[in-house]
Structure 1
Amino acid sequence: MTGALEDKVRDAFAQDGGLSRAAEQFRERSGQTEMAMAVARTIDKGGVLVVEAGTGVGKTFSYLVPALLSGERVLLSTATKTLQDQLFGRDLPRLVEAFGLPVRTALLKGRASYLCLHRLDMARHDASLPERGSLRTLAKIEQWSKATRTGDLAELPGLDERSPLIPLITSTRENCLGAQCPQFKPCHVNLARREALAADIVVINHHLFFADLAVRETGMAELLPTVSVVVFDEAHQLNETGVQFLGAQLGTGQALDFAHDMLAAGLQHARGLVDWQQLVSTTERAARDLRLVVGKQWPGAKLRWLGPSPEGIDPAAWQGALDDLLDAFRAAAEGLDTVSEISPDFVRLHERARQLAKRTARFALPCELDSVRWVDVGTQLRLIESPLDIADAMRKRVLKIADEAGEADEAGIDGDEQEDGLDAYGEQPARSGAAHEEGGRAWVFTSATLGDEPTLRWFTEPCGLQDAEVLRVQSPFDYASQAAIYVPRAFPKPNDPSHSQRVAQLAARGAAELGGRTLVLTTTLRALRTIGDEMRQQFELLDTQVRPEVLVQGELPKRVLMDRFREGSSAGRAGCVLVASASFWEGFDAPGDVLQLVVIDKLPFPPPNDPLVEARSQRLEAQGRSSFADYSLPEAAVALKQGAGRLIRRETDSGVLAICDTRLVAMGYGRRLLAALPPMRRLENETDFDAALEALRN
């Protein structure tokens, strides 16, 4: 016997149902309907559903339709702001219109996404703007600020996400003045939060969700208890996103930013009342001394921190530098306290000083149980303490959060974060009752990739979801006819110095044959640069009319790279090759014939010397399990599936996947990794590879 919601959902997904009015060329897909029915059942009865929905299933509509038709209040969380914008700006409006539903939708992002009117005003008078072009960019931002309703920086065309201006015109939790701000009433963050609290469907992102779980600052403490349905899309990123927020971080860059803000406020509002230069120079010197104690290291090095100091660092010198930094923050707090009544800037700076002192004191103590500590080394230092996963937080503070609303102290929130019971906007937080009875809330976690075995243990275990209902829905694509996989046999081993050069040569050969249309995914930034340079050299021999353009991640903003690649060979230009790492392994969508060859340089095993990876592996070994079979291999399988998933995005796409790592065919574990990939046909040798490329070109 089915429920009323399931009947509505089945009708909506029928060939001539409501969904056919929202989606062009809609046709009924059994996998999409199967997932939608499972979501409907979970909404009806409450509980937790985990769904792996292969590429092409149409999982977005599979959760949106039942969520909308349920009439319940819904929270949707995604991993990226890009998908957030797509859900809010495209998918939701289409469905709301198609079904004629009277629902209010809202988009809520983190502070860094919104223009801060107060800090924009301060930036106008900042004599130390980072670069010459900043004045022109600032003028454009000021012009846009007069017309925008949302203040969402994503609306501003041409603003580079790497612009040094962005930190100057956005707020952070540390420097926001809350209700004391002179621009509190028209504040864009405040407006977005109010709209979210009044909406039926709210679209957020995982970073925002976990930031709130850590400090209860973004309004989620008020929003979540009133919601009946929570959906996490791109859920495969949940664990790694969550651990970033559930531990502690302290950066020497934070100390320098604090000193800069303290000096600016001091000289503007209370010149001569406190020796600001002394406080600032003491703080800056302490931060720089802590960096100097570490000395020269490889850029991007992560130093294990198992004892009183990071590895290779003298414990006495390290502890002394930490003590000096702590003293500097405490002295700053004392100085700011004496002028706190003059301006709200000083109240907030005083809170920042106290929080920085508290965090510094934490790092002077031993590491928390079931956590790992390390130091990230760059121009500045970042001291990091992280839990190994989010399982405990999910079980105690998320899945039961409706029953514990209002019990923030028991949920492990620091009392100092919200000591007066007011939220970050100076208001008394609402403590609404749960929208459902206990256990009635529906939780849905979904992604195209959640593991490489039937129980999806790779995802459910670190997220504390072992008791969830698990559903795997296969992709509707005919991979055997649409795609082929090639693993070159006569190839240097992955650790061979010539490996990246050979990858570049193989990719260049394919791209020359196809006129671009090639994505090269690397596992390291060093390989990224080597392959990019080598491919450009290879193409020097080609006529400029047919020479593919080589785009390399980091040389242009990500959005510009993606747009240029998708343009392909339009406007009379040759096609493109994109050489990318990290963030391009997932979330990059280039359907159609602009992408027909994906080249992966190596199997994406987690780096064994990463402190978090190392600690997770050690925990598994201590439990009598294999860290390779239970951690490294599943991690590689999921990343490989994500990378391979860039190739076929539609039922009409075709292409070749080349994985330049002989371990895939030489080692026993290669069979498990190959089995995790879509069932593409195999190309056995170079002749087959060339023939497949020629067929694509023709």
Structure 2
Amino acid sequence: MTWLDQVTAALGPGGALQQAQPGFQPRSAQLQLAQAVGQVLQEGGVLVAEAGTGVGKTYAYLLPVLLSAQRVILSTATRNLQDQLFTRDLPRLMKALGLSRRVALLKGRNSYLCTQRLSQARREAHHLDDQAWRQLAQVEHWAQGTRTGDLAELPELDDVSPLIPWITSTRDNCLGTRCAGWQACHVNEARRQALTADLVVVNHHLFFSDQQLRDAGVAELLPSRQAVIFDEAHRLNEIGVQFMGRQFSARSWRRLATELLDEGTRWARGFQPWPELASLMERQMRDFETWVAAAARRPEARLQWLGLSPEGLEATAWQQRLSGLQALLARVHQALTLTQEAAPELRRLAQRTDELRGVLTSLTQAGEGGGTVRWLETGRHTRLLEVPLHIAEHLQALMAAESSPAQREAELTPGLASPRPAWIFTSATLGLDEALSWFTQPCGLGDVAQVLRVGSPFDYARQAAWHVPEGLPEAQDPDHAWALSQWLLAPVRQLGGRTLVLATSLRALGELAKGLQEGLQGSGIEVLVQGQGSRRRLLERFRQGDGERPCVLVASGAFWEGVDVPGPALQMLVIDKLPFPVPDDPLVLARSAALKAQGRTPFQDFVLPETAMALKQGAGRLIRSEHDRGVLVLADERLLQRSYGARLLAALPAMPCLVDQAALMQALAALRSPEGRLTRSSTTDPTPCS
């Protein structure tokens, strides 16, 4: 029996998975996907596969990988899925199959404790607040026993904690072999394990950052791998463009100033005026940001940058300001060059200063045009950015570059499955047409990829329904979010919490949270709000909301995807309005302009597909298992009033419509019944409401 036959047998009735996991049910869609993955692993090439929610795509690609015994890189969009694959899915699957494979987890530097930075933090991190100081004590205690140094072992440490930059390293401040803790470094140990592993689990951010910087890590792994699999591939283009461009930020400038003062006075006190230089850097950046904010006439904005200066900023004055920053960087670099032999820390700072000068110099020159876009961000941290419109060119170059080593290894190694590497891209949402062009076109895969669409096995017509509230202010009205919060009070009470509210903006999130908190006060239903606790803690609490602790979760951004709450804890999903792309976003404007130049219609060919995919992704949070029941509330009447509404609804699974609020309340009451089922009397056929 070949390993491809073993894949089929393991997923079939009475197979290894059903024997090991009593609740496992063979699914034809899962088998179809697994066979397609196995075929590409054996023959090489490119597979783009959309697998609807509930197909079981994780096992569908892990099973062929494990049985083929190939060396593979597996990349995810989120660290949450990384951890799930490494700690749960892979061990469970290997046990069921009776296999032993070397598996490694590799994250970016900011996910691992740096013992050198930790030793400095207590004496130098004087800017931390009381909570961060308490967390520092917890980290110091944990550091004595951890084997991996992975900060995910500390659930109480939020991803956005101000402590993290003080206890982790970056490529900029890592001392490399000159560090006293180099041999015991957690990052180095993770990379050593990855280099010898059969399967390495990384994330898209690490994958692209290493490819761009050619830092040690993923870039070293690729030539020895026979396959690369991207799960959550719908995020690939969005993440990739961040690392394929250049940026200069006020945050990196200030971090350099802080370390200049700390390391200069520590290693070369008296040799250079370190306090004066650091103070001058802070003052010059503050003056620059003040001028930019005043010239832009907006405290927070993304300003297009088509010519020599961003929109609204006078070109000569802009160039003079940038020249001033360059001159100061040159002075700092000279001071560091004269003292860098005193310590590795100063030598590394000199290199960083030179790199920052190079980025700033490139951004003062005329833009490349064509496939790139520039803009200036103002607000909490000013940033100057230049990125490509899409990753197609970069991804194609990467795939071509990595083909030759893989082919040579296959030719020299007997028994390898394919002389060509396999590239597999999968997600629950990759497109609206059979060609999955929403994904394949910006990634440059349209002409080279085998495309597969496998539908969800869930019976949405029986398990779910949707409703559009009537009488709310228009979605663009500033009062819409508050009005929606008041409208939601009755449905939330009827259901007893069990509601996830997804907002399309932080402003709407704040209004919805305030309105629900005030309106549900004294009801016994707790309102959880994104930002008031770590994402992990909020989801843990939300999952407990089907018992004696009912709750509502109001969230935005990161909660639109990767949220998996099966069961009765989530039975109503509310989307505040259609998630159209921000119209003045420079990337949106540039991509729209590129389509116009091709004679295409930006709204039809870009805006609507982007909106449909975001809507599909958000709506996918509702039904997560065959036993789930729920209602999707889409609080935007444009779905019913505008001609494009039907196209957006077509992107969602076919489910019946609750025609009015009475039908909605009846459905919610039915969900609270012991059977927890939607009643057919309250719904129409699974076609759009008119």
Quickly name the TM-score band, shorter chain normalised.
over 0.9
**1:489 Cα offset (Å):** 4.0
Label 1:434 to 1:289 Cα distance change in 2 as closer, same or farther (>3 A). Answer: farther
Does 2:517 match 1:510? no
**1:335 Cα offset (Å):** 1.2
Contact 1:252–1:380, Cα closer than 8 Å, also in 2: yes
Label 1:298 to 1:514 Cα distance change in 2 as closer, same or farther (>3 A). Answer: farther
Which structure 2 residues correspond to residues 389-468 of structure 1 after superposition, within 5 A? 389-403=390-404, 440-466=420-446, 467-468=448-449
Label 1:437 to 1:343 Cα distance change in 2 as closer, same or farther (>3 A). Answer: farther
Q: Give the Cα–Cα distance (whole angstroms) in 1 for the partners of residues 669 and 380 of structure 2.
A: 48
Label 1:396 to 1:433 Cα distance change in 2 as closer, same or farther (>3 A). Answer: farther
Q: Give the Cα–Cα distance (whole angstroms) in 2 for the partners of residues 581 and 131 of structure 1.
A: 26
Contact 2:566–2:628, Cα closer than 8 Å, also in 1: yes
Contact 1:516–1:548, Cα closer than 8 Å, also in 2: yes
**In the alignment, what sits opposite 2:682?**
none
**1:472 Cα offset (Å):** 0.5
Q: Which moved more, 1:194-203 or 1:390-399?
A: 390-399
For the residue of structure 2 that corresponds to 1:295, the secondary structure is helix
**1:590 Cα offset (Å):** 1.0
Does 2:551 match 1:568? no
**In the alignment, what sits opposite 1:189?**
187
Q: Which moved more, 1:473-482 or 1:367-376?
A: 367-376
Contact 1:227–1:434, Cα closer than 8 Å, also in 2: no
- The one-letter amino acid paired with 1:331 is R
Give a deviation string over 1:251-298, Cα, whole Å, max 9, x none: 111111101101111111111112212322332233223212202454
**In the alignment, what sits opposite 1:420?**
none
Does 2:571 match 1:555? no
Label 1:245 to 1:22 Cα distance change in 2 as closer, same or farther (>3 A). Answer: farther
Does 2:601 match 1:626? yes
Which structure 2 residues correspond to residues 641-680 of structure 1 after superposition, within 5 A? 641-680=616-655
**1:438 Cα offset (Å):** 9.0
For the residue of structure 1 that corresponds to 2:124, the secondary structure is coil
**In the alignment, what sits opposite 1:174?**
172
Q: Which moved more, 1:103-112 or 1:272-281?
A: 272-281
Q: Which moved more, 1:94-103 or 1:284-293?
A: 284-293
Give a deviation string over 1:651-673, Cα, whole Å, max 9, x none: 00001001011111111211111
Runs of 5+ unmatched residues, structure 2: 674-690
Q: Give the Cα–Cα distance (whole angstroms) in 1 for the partners of residues 503 and 50 of structure 2.
A: 25
Label 1:433 to 1:331 Cα distance change in 2 as closer, same or farther (>3 A). Answer: farther
Q: Give the Cα–Cα distance (whole angstroms) in 1 for the partners of residues 21 and 600 of structure 2.
A: 47
**In the alignment, what sits opposite 2:679?**
none
Contact 1:15–1:26, Cα closer than 8 Å, also in 2: no
Label 1:532 to 1:127 Cα distance change in 2 as closer, same or farther (>3 A). Answer: closer
Label 1:127 to 1:532 Cα distance change in 2 as closer, same or farther (>3 A). Answer: closer
For the residue of structure 2 that corresponds to 1:19, the secondary structure is helix
For the residue of structure 2 that corresponds to 1:374, the secondary structure is strand
Label 1:185 to 1:163 Cα distance change in 2 as closer, same or farther (>3 A). Answer: same
**In the alignment, what sits opposite 1:329?**
329
- The one-letter amino acid paired with 1:384 is L
Label 1:249 to 1:22 Cα distance change in 2 as closer, same or farther (>3 A). Answer: farther
Does 2:502 match 1:521? yes
For the residue of structure 2 that corresponds to 1:48, the secondary structure is strand
Q: Give the Cα–Cα distance (whole angstroms) in 2 for the partners of residues 569 and 100 of structure 1.
A: 37
- The one-letter amino acid paired with 2:501 is V
Contact 1:402–1:433, Cα closer than 8 Å, also in 2: no
Contact 1:208–1:218, Cα closer than 8 Å, also in 2: no
Equivalent of 1:591, from 551, 554, 566? 566
Contact 2:101–2:198, Cα closer than 8 Å, also in 1: yes
For the residue of structure 2 that corresponds to 1:133, the secondary structure is helix
For the residue of structure 2 that corresponds to 1:523, the secondary structure is coil
**1:479 Cα offset (Å):** 0.5
**In the alignment, what sits opposite 1:493?**
474
Give a deviation string over 1:36-84, Cα, whole Å, max 9, x none: 0000000111000011000000000000000110011011100000000
Q: Give the Cα–Cα distance (whole angstroms) in 2 for the partners of residues 22 and 76 of structure 1.
A: 24
Label 1:176 to 1:24 Cα distance change in 2 as closer, same or farther (>3 A). Answer: farther
Q: Give the Cα–Cα distance (whole angstroms) in 1 for the partners of residues 485 and 250 of structure 2.
A: 39
Equivalent of 1:75, from 73, 76, 86? 73
The runs of at least 4 aligned residues of structure 1 exceeding 6 Å deviation read 431-439
Does 2:328 match 1:347? no
Contact 2:41–2:417, Cα closer than 8 Å, also in 1: no
Q: Give the Cα–Cα distance (whole angstroms) in 2 for the partners of residues 195 and 656 of structure 1.
A: 46
For the residue of structure 2 that corresponds to 1:681, the secondary structure is coil
Q: Which moved more, 1:497-506 or 1:91-100?
A: 497-506
**In the alignment, what sits opposite 2:366?**
366
- The one-letter amino acid paired with 2:366 is P
For the residue of structure 2 that corresponds to 1:682, the secondary structure is coil
Contact 1:112–1:170, Cα closer than 8 Å, also in 2: yes
Which structure 2 residues correspond to residues 214-229 of structure 1 after superposition, within 5 A? 214-229=212-227
Give aligned pairs, total: 666
Contact 1:371–1:388, Cα closer than 8 Å, also in 2: yes
Does 2:582 match 1:602? no
**1:162 Cα offset (Å):** 2.2
Equivalent of 1:685, from 660, 666, 670? 660
Give a deviation string over 1:594-632, Cα, whole Å, max 9, x none: 010011111111111100011001101110111111111
Q: Give the Cα–Cα distance (whole angstroms) in 2 for the partners of residues 659 and 697 of structure 1.
A: 21
Does 2:507 match 1:530? no
For the residue of structure 1 that corresponds to 2:49, the secondary structure is strand
**1:110 Cα offset (Å):** 0.3
Label 1:164 to 1:682 Cα distance change in 2 as closer, same or farther (>3 A). Answer: same
Q: Give the Cα–Cα distance (whole angstroms) in 1 for the partners of residues 312 and 20 of structure 2.
A: 60
**1:537 Cα offset (Å):** 2.4
Does 2:100 match 1:99? no
Percent identity of equivalent pairs: 50
Q: Give the Cα–Cα distance (whole angstroms) in 2 for the partners of residues 127 and 191 of structure 1.
A: 26
- The one-letter amino acid paired with 2:264 is G
- The one-letter amino acid paired with 2:240 is G
**1:160 Cα offset (Å):** 2.3
**1:568 Cα offset (Å):** 0.6
Give a deviation string over 1:303-355, Cα, whole Å, max 9, x none: 11111111111222221111111111121111111122211101110110000
**In the alignment, what sits opposite 2:291?**
293
Equivalent of 2:59, from 58, 61, 71? 61
For the residue of structure 2 that corresponds to 1:144, the secondary structure is helix
- The one-letter amino acid paired with 1:678 is P
Q: Give the Cα–Cα distance (whole angstroms) in 2 for the partners of residues 585 and 399 of structure 1.
A: 34
- The one-letter amino acid paired with 1:340 is Q
Label 1:569 to 1:483 Cα distance change in 2 as closer, same or farther (>3 A). Answer: closer
Q: Give the Cα–Cα distance (whole angstroms) in 2 for the partners of residues 434 and 88 of structure 1.
A: 31
Equivalent of 2:459, from 466, 478, 487? 478
For the residue of structure 2 that corresponds to 1:61, the secondary structure is helix
Q: Give the Cα–Cα distance (whole angstroms) in 1 for the partners of residues 410 and 291 of structure 2.
A: 50
- The one-letter amino acid paired with 1:245 is F
Q: Which moved more, 1:458-467 or 1:305-314?
A: 305-314
Which structure 2 residues correspond to residues 18-417 of structure 1 after superposition, within 5 A? 18-126=16-124, 128-296=126-294, 297-369=297-369, 370-403=371-404
Contact 2:43–2:418, Cα closer than 8 Å, also in 1: no
Contact 2:106–2:202, Cα closer than 8 Å, also in 1: yes
Label 1:21 to 1:345 Cα distance change in 2 as closer, same or farther (>3 A). Answer: farther
Contact 1:119–1:168, Cα closer than 8 Å, also in 2: yes
Q: Which moved more, 1:190-199 or 1:556-565?
A: 556-565
- The one-letter amino acid paired with 1:464 is G
Give a deviation string over 1:505-533, Cα, whole Å, max 9, x none: 23222110011001111111111111111
**1:5 Cα offset (Å):** 3.1
**In the alignment, what sits opposite 2:684?**
none
**1:461 Cα offset (Å):** 0.5
Label 1:127 to 1:645 Cα distance change in 2 as closer, same or farther (>3 A). Answer: closer
**1:21 Cα offset (Å):** 4.1
Superposition RMSD in Å: 1.9
Contact 1:224–1:402, Cα closer than 8 Å, also in 2: no
Q: Which moved more, 1:494-503 or 1:370-379?
A: 494-503
- The one-letter amino acid paired with 2:8 is R
Q: Give the Cα–Cα distance (whole angstroms) in 2 for the partners of residues 455 and 656 of structure 1.
A: 30
**1:486 Cα offset (Å):** 0.8
